[in-house]
Structure 1
Amino acid sequence: MHIKTLCCFAVSFCLSINAVSATEMIMVDKAEYEELRAAVKYLMEERQKQQVAVEEAKQTADEAVEVAEAAAEAAESSSLGKFENLSLGGYVEAHYNNYDYDDGSEKKEFDLHRFVLFTGYEYNDKLRFFSELEIEHGGVQDTADGDGALGGEVEVEQAYVEYDFVDNASARAGLFILPIGMLNETHEPDTFYGVERNSVEKYIVPTTWWEIGSMLTYTMDSGFKFEGAVHSGLNMSDDDGYVRGGRQKGSNAEAQNLAYTFAATYTGMQGLELGVSYHYEDDPSQQDGDGGYIEEGSLMEAHIAYNSGMFGLRALYAEWDFEGDGIEADNGDEQKGWYIEPSIRPLANLGFFARYEDLEYFKGSEKNVEIMSVGANYYLHEQVALKADYIDYKDNVDSSKDFDGFNLGVGLSF
């Protein structure tokens, strides 16, 4: 009887212990659940806040873009915004010449040779305007008696509009430089060696040569460029056979007969430029008749420029062929010249050159000249050069004009 009672008590005690344990487990699980539920709720609230912040940031960004676009449109429509399409540039050359002539005379002279301003305006991606204004030899001074005149020139060398009518092709109309030689179109002083420009391109091409007319240009992806122009020509009516003196420079230019220029250039290989050009005039005297001093003229030119590492080479040949009884009798019907110019640039800011020139031209009488030059360019900046060179000039017709000496100069572009 006692044993049965003890067994019943033991069973009851165990059941009571298990019930208490189960209750505690249920209470623990419920507490963890509440913590987990609170955590999930917090995360959902934070996510919602982030989504709201993202939407607000996106809206703010959209508003900022709208404000910027409105400001840009306002700037473009305003007079100040128009200056964004305006481009300015130019170059300056100042020289010192020190020459001793064989006849005992000398030349020691400073000269602000050129001060040039470029102005351009881009109407859109296809249409643009370009101009070049040059002041030479310090300017001009017009006085009643002529005393104190500076003796320089103020010239508009370029003023044309250019339109890209198809891919790789454009048309130009107005006053522009002819595509002949190397210096004619690219003559900023930091782009060539020597204080003075070479005499072959000066007297034979003649650099710088600009005319009024129209020109077509076509450029190929392979590096070829072709140009053809119809324009005003020379006016050599003074009967002196001087090509450089026949440039009309767009000033009330006589146009009894037009002139034509064609050029082809190849730059498809790194460091190399090959170029040829041909120029023709039916009557460079602009007198429109037979039997004149000059009746017809043509110019052929070829050049090469090559740079590889520190070494460079430039060479050019140009020849005029004139027809006319007068100029043929004076032996001025064939005017030609060539030069070769090797160079070395051992340092980024220092280069040396040597140049030999041989030319025959006509200026009232026959000229036959040989020139040897050696010198250096020191670059304070890629566009700012200090220049020095020695020159030996030999006139094969009149030895009294022979001279030697040196030039110093500073040239810059911007």
Structure 2
Amino acid sequence: MNKIKVVLMICVFAGIGASTPFAAKAQISASDSVMANANKQKLSVGGYGEVAYSREFFSDNVYRYAKSANYKNDPSHGRFDIPHAVIYLSYDFGKGWTMGSEIEFEHTGTGTSYEKDYDEGGEWEQEVEKGGEVELEQFWLQKTFSKALNIRAGHIVVPIGLTNAHHEPLNFFTVYRPEGENTIFPCTWHQTGICIWGKMQKWRYELQFLPGLDAMNFTREGWIHNGANSAFEFTVANRYAIAARIDNYSIQGLRMGISAYYGQSFDNTYNRDANSDITKKKGAVTIGTFDFTYNAHNWIIRGNFDYGHLDDASYVSSLPGRATRISPYSQDLVGKAAIASGFEAGWDLFSQIKKMREDKQKLYLFGHYEYYDYYIPANKKVTDYPESNINRIALGLNYYPIPQIAIKGEYSHRFLKSQYNNEPSISIGIAYEGFFF
């Protein structure tokens, strides 16, 4: 822990649905966004989307860390992208029964899948439909007994950390989602399970029962980021997990939240090997996070601190089937822990111009800082990868011509350990979030 720099973040979001029953301008949970603007209508349709362009002034070669001197003077490269395009659909059946769904297109495509072909001697086969992904991020049925008690079953958002709980693009200043949480956690984290949630005075709580993550999908560069993925047409649930979140809205414009997760990840894949000594270990994942939001007096300030630990991390690379030649899984070591933290603040320049203020246009000048480490080695005898230790700053503007649309621009710079090359870039983007019907 003495090598870990911890920076607490204050976190604020100016989203669409910013008005809540708790406090003016304090954000709502992303899991509530589907129903946020229903206004007692039977059917509600909405969504959000992003278009982005970036120019990166550093090498994108896969060996840029292993042989950093060879790629110091590589030319810059650019890319256009549609990170997310999402459709919300919700319906109120009456008598407290509602349905909510969120369909997401990532990078305009569909995705890939793996299957084990027993006609080919158990060989793994990969099917490619198209680059990118189409995912069902939410699909649930809910019974509401009161504001304080709702039961939701189906595919739900797992609100661990700031970005997962509030992942819509108007809920962060940067063009892309904050890197730290997006690197070490599934993001957006969504799984099929059961949820109990409710609102009581100035509080919102949520408790979830979920399938455990799959350690076969853990990687060095992303820690547990891919752990919620399934290569099959179903999600394996040999192991289970619980997740919880509590938010407080007592102070006008301020939201403070904590979240926690615990679940086992070993032996949670297809074809259990009951005779293996390694799979008898648990591979427990434990996560604790804190975040808060302030949105008042023309300021928006956002932040989070997250720490996660993986038991038996030194055994992950030795899990049966992970290191075989035909396996689709990574053979890399996985860290025993990961950390993400940061700070972001912006001030509305148009608040000082009467005409812009009356027209509800906003122009935020913002600064962003985050620190994250996606690989903390299991012990001193295990290989360390110092490139995992990253500080990042970003400076830029967010222009809101109307509350539902943001035009973003930023200069970003990643600072790595001295033996590596730093990574500057510029990005511009446009994002929207709204309800159409």
Bin of the TM-score, shorter chain as denominator length = 0.7 to 0.9
Aligned residue for 2:180, secondary structure, equals: helix
SS in 1 for 2:45: strand
- The answer as to whether partners of 2:218 and 2:227 remain within 8 angstroms in 1 is no
Aligned AA (1:377): N
Q: Could you tell me whether the CA contact under 8 Å between 1:88 and 1:118 is conserved in 2? A: yes
User: How far apart, in 2, do the equivalents of 1:358 and 1:411 lie?
Assistant: 25
Q: Partners in 2 of 1:125 and 1:352 — Cα distance?
A: 46
Select which of 200, 211, 219 maps to 2:191: 211
Q: Is the 8 A contact 1:303 1:316 kept in 2?
A: yes
- Given candidates 300, 311, 315, the residue that maps to 1:323 is 311
Checking the alignment, whether the CA contact within 8 Å between 2:83 and 2:107 is kept in structure 1 is yes
Preserved contact between residue 190 and residue 382 of structure 1 (Cα < 8 Å): no
Greater percentage in helix: 1
In the other structure, the counterpart of 2:181 is: 201
Residue 98 of structure 1, CA deviation: 0.4
1:372-411 mapped onto 2 (5 Å cutoff): 372-396=393-417, 399-400=420-421, 402-411=422-431
Matched, 1:272 2:254: yes
Instruction: State the distance in 2 between where 1:281 and 1:248 align.
Output: 15
Amino acid at match of 2:251: M
The answer on 1:191 being equivalent to 2:171 is yes
Report what 2:226 is aligned to: 245
Q: Give the C-alpha shift of residue 213 in structure 1.
A: 0.6
Alignment partners' CA distance in 1, 2:179 and 2:282? 23
1:29 counterpart residue number: none
Question: Alignment partner of 2:48: what SS?
Answer: strand
Structure 1: give runs of 5+ residues left out of the alignment: 1-82
Aligned twin of 2:33 = none
Q: Which residue of 1 aligns with 2:285?
A: 297
Structure 1 residue 247 displacement after superposition: 1.8
Q: How does 1:126-275 map to 2 (within 5 A)?
A: 126-140=96-110, 150-221=130-201, 223-238=202-217, 240-241=219-220, 242-248=223-229, 251-275=233-257
Q: Matches of 1:197 and 1:134 in 2, distance apart?
A: 15
The answer on whether the counterparts of 2:282 and 2:311 sit within 8 Å (CA) in structure 1 is yes
User: Which deviates the most, 297-306 or 354-363?
Assistant: 354-363
SS in 1 for 2:278: coil
Looking at structure 2, the residues matched to 360 and 179 of structure 1 have their Cα atoms a distance apart, in angstroms, of 21
Q: Is the 8 A contact 1:376 1:389 kept in 2?
A: yes
SS in 2 for 1:179: coil
When the two structures are aligned, how many residues end up with a matched partner? 327
TM-score for both structures, normalised by structure 1: 0.72
2:91–2:100 CA contact under 8 A, matched in 1:
yes
C-alpha separation in 2, matches of 1:370 and 1:327:
29
Secondary structure of the residue that 1:92 maps to in structure 2? strand
Alignment-mate amino acid for residue 335 of structure 1:
A
The residue number in structure 1 matching 2:90 is 120
Change in CA separation of 1:190 and 1:184 when aligned onto 2, cut-off 3 Å: same
For structure 2, the 5+ residue unaligned runs are: 1-39, 60-70, 113-125, 318-332, 351-360, 377-382
Q: In structure 2, do the counterparts of structure 1 residues 209 and 308 end up closer, same or farther at CA, with 3 Å as the change threshold?
A: same
**Is the Cα–Cα contact under 8 Å of residues 157 and 190 in structure 2 kept in the other structure?**
yes
Q: What is the Cα-based RMSD across aligned positions, in Å? A: 2.9
Judge conservation of contact 2:278–2:315 (CA < 8 Å) in 1.
no
Partners of 2:306 and 2:132 in 1: CA distance: 28
**Shift, 1:385, TM fit:** 0.8
Q: 1:229 to 1:149 in 2, by over 3 A?
A: closer
2:432 alignment counterpart: 412
Distance in 2, matches of 1:285 and 1:197, equals: 32
Matched with 2:81 is: 111
- What CA distance in whole angstroms lies between the structure 2 residues aligned with 1:97 and 1:176? 31
Provide closer, same or farther for how the CA distance between residues 129 and 323 of structure 1 changes in structure 2, counting only shifts above 3 A.
same
8 Å CA contact retained: 1:294, 1:325: no
Q: Give every structure 1 segment of 4 or more consecutive aligned residues whose post-TM-superposition deviation is greater than 6 Å.
A: none
Whether the 8 Å CA contact 1:284–1:297 is kept in 2: the answer is no
1:313 maps onto 2:301 in alignment = yes
Q: 2:344 — aligned with what?
A: 341
Counterpart-to-counterpart distance in 2, 1:384 and 1:132: 20
Corresponding residue for residue 43 of structure 2: 86
C-alpha offsets along residues 114-150 of structure 1, whole Å, 9 cap, x if unaligned?
A: 21101000011511100011111122489xxx9x975
* Inter-partner Cα distance in structure 1 for 2:389 and 2:106: 27
